[in-house]
Amino acid sequence: MKKAQAEKTNVMRLLEQNKIEYKHFCYVETGETNGLEVAKILGQDPDKVFKTLVTIAASKQNYVFMVPVNKELNLKKAAKAVGEKSIEMIKSKELLPLTGYIHGGCSPIGMKKQFTTVVDESVILYDDIFFSGGKVGYQVNVAPDDLKKLVDYIIADIAE
């Protein structure tokens, strides 16, 4: 029996509109939001599966950081990467009004506003990476160079 086609998310639509090649994966039936578990479900190396984190700096500027799911964002390194004195994670309840995404479904593509985005330097090791497709239970697989066409990110040492 053929598996039902996953619904298209806004992230997938934006990738298609920009003629960017991608693969998508749907595991919505699991409801899983833990990045390490998602990597297991996908059968992928957790170093290659990235989580999207939204922060706020002392200056009140918001920043987006992408780090592998098996690592944590080093807030000091992250602040240094964007030239801020300090940054902290935004509160979960602030995520949806700010980005249009909920916790566990936040993607760097298609946010309400484009924020300065930093991807951990480990991204250079891969021809393709996985990240949220914009809804809980959806992941997309895209080449980092293709992601750069939609999200003007910088690369820095931000994970620990």
Indicate which CATH number applies to the domain containing 118: 3.90.960.10
Domain presence at residue 133: yes
pLDDT score, position 151? 97
- What are the structure tokens assigned to 31, written together? 């409801």
Domain presence at residue 63: yes
Quick one: the chain helix, strand, coil %, rounded to 5?
30, 25, 40
Indicate the number of domains in the chain. Answer: 1
- Asked if residue 4 has pLDDT above 90, the reply is no
Domain presence at residue 1: no
| Interval 30-72: pLDDT, tens | 888 899 999 999 999 999 999 999 999 999 999 999 999 999 9
Entry pTM:
0.94
3-state secondary structure 103-157: CCCCCCCCCCCCCEEEEEHHHHHCCCEEEECCCCCEEEEECHHHHHHHCCEEEEC
Which domain range does residue 126 map to?
Answer: 10-156
Domain presence at residue 85: yes
User: Residue 49: which of 145, 147, 139 has the closest Cα?
Assistant: 139
- What are the structure tokens assigned to 70, written together? 């098996």
| Interval 74-121: pLDDT, tens | 999 999 999 999 999 999 999 999 999 999 999 999 999 999 999 999
Q: Give 47's DSSP letter.
A: G
Domain presence at residue 121: yes
pLDDT score, position 105? 94
Cα gap 156→120, rounded to integer Å:
5
pLDDT score, position 7? 85
pLDDT score, position 70? 97
